[in-house]
Structures are given as structure tokens and as C-alpha cells.
Amino acid sequence: MNDEQKKKLLERLKKLMALSRSANEHEAASALEKAQALMREFSITEDDLDLADYGTTESPAVFIKPRQRLPIYAGMLSRVIESAFGASAIWDTDGREAKVIWIGPQSKTEIAAYSFTVLARLLQKKRSEYKFVALMRESSPGRREARADTYCEGWVAGVRSNIMPYQPSEKEKRLSDLFTRQKFPSLGKSDMRGAGLSASESSDAYSDGISDGRKTRLQAGMKGEKRSQIKETRYLEFGA
């Protein structure tokens, strides 16, 4: 059985399982019997049915180019999105274009990818403002970069303080791990880089970042919506 045939079979099974919950007892019993027979014939498990709703959605990496080390604040931002929406992130920096791959139920990966892209672009803008306006007193370009990175780490921490983490069930965790192992069997860890400043040197930049980050609100979209709602006091006008 090829992938297309398996996809059609799983769609048929999902429809039969939906019918098995019909208020009509005869219709429900008949649908369940057909579904069980097909599952036995083709060795389909309940996990296979659940995983049919899982998939991946890609978003641009925004912060880095291929084969560059990932700044810590970029990894922090992807974890914020993971926590908010219950989708997992994989950074792919080895291809022709660096990207983030979101894994989970398809509806959640689409929301996560959209939200990450909007927040990442906003953070890029905020970083530029902090680097070229607030930090002109720094004579060293390297130190300006380092302080801007520290500001970004604080900004993401500020955004994180506004969200209510999504709590996945044990079944969701198991299915996500299973799908990830099937889809990405050779998954490795991303190489990250820090800002390189001491705690005393970075405290004001980090505090500035937290203060600005707390102005940003990130909310999961209501059921049926295709996009999340993101609102930032000055810069974003998405949602309510």
C-alpha cells in the first residue's frame, strides 16, 4: 500500500469511526464492524488513526541563515510558541533555506507557524531599534550586538510572562513523540550561541527587553479560526 492509498484508507476509517458514534444503533454498529474489519485486514491501530491528523508546517527561521549558530533568544521564542499552542519545533539549518518545522495536530502547527513568524519579525524590528537608537553609546560594534542579543532574551522572557501554557494530555505527548520519531528518525540538537555578556553588563539590556516584551500579548485562536491572535501595544493590530 502506497502513501496515497493509506491516506484514503485512514480517511475512510475516520468517517466510519464517526458514524460508529451515531444515535442510530444499527448504523453505529455496522460502521464500527466495518472499521474493525478494515483495521484488522490492514493492521491499522488506533494510534495510526490519531496520527492521521498530525502533520508539519514550516515557517522561515527569520533570525539565521543556513548553517549559522542559533541565538539563544531564537530558541527561547520557539519554546514560548510550543508552550502556548502545544506544537513542537524543530530548527532546520542544514538546507538551502533555514526554517522552523512545527510538529503536531495540523491545526496547531498552522497557528504556531503563523504566530512564530509574526513575533520573530516583530522581535527583529525591536532588536534593530534597541541596537541603533538606545545603544549608540557603545563604541564597540561587537558589544552593541551582544547587548542587543541580551535585550532580545529579555523581550522573549517578557512575552512568556503573558501566556498561559497549554497543558497537553499524556496521550498527546505520546502521539507527538511517536510522530516525531517516525518523521524525523535522525533528529539532532541545534547549536546555539549566547550573547557573551556578564550578568552585571547585561542586566539593564535584559530589563529593557522584559519591559518591552510584556507589552506583547499572545493568545490562541478560538476554535475554527485559522490564525492566532497577537496584539502589541504599538506595533501589532492583529485580533482583539
Write the CB contacts of 104 (distance below 8 Å, at least 6 apart in sequence). Answer: 54, 85, 86, 87, 88, 112, 176, 179
CA dihedral 129, 134, 136, 141 (to 10 degrees): -60
Looking at residue 11, its amino acid is E
Cα–Cα distance, 160 to 162 (Å, whole number)? 5
The reported pLDDT for the residue numbered 221 is 44
pLDDT in tens, the chain (240 residues): 777 887 788 888 888 888 888 888 888 888 888 888 888 888 888 888 888 888 999 999 988 888 788 899 999 999 999 999 989 999 988 878 889 999 999 889 999 999 999 999 999 999 998 887 666 666 677 778 888 899 999 999 999 998 888 888 888 889 999 999 888 877 666 666 666 665 556 678 889 999 999 988 776 543 334 444 554 433 333 333
The reported pLDDT for the residue numbered 164 is 84
Q: Which cell numbers hold the place of 180?
A: 516525531
The reported pLDDT for the residue numbered 79 is 94
Residues 2-36: pLDDT tens digits? 778 877 888 888 888 888 888 888 888 888 888 88
The reported pLDDT for the residue numbered 227 is 46
Strands, E assignment, the chain: 54-60, 70-71, 88-92, 99-105, 192-193, 216-219, 229-232, 236-237
The reported pLDDT for the residue numbered 56 is 93
Q: Are 110 and 99 in contact (CB under 8 A)?
A: no
The reported pLDDT for the residue numbered 201 is 61
For residue 90, the cross-strand partners are 101
Give pTM, 2 decimals: 0.76
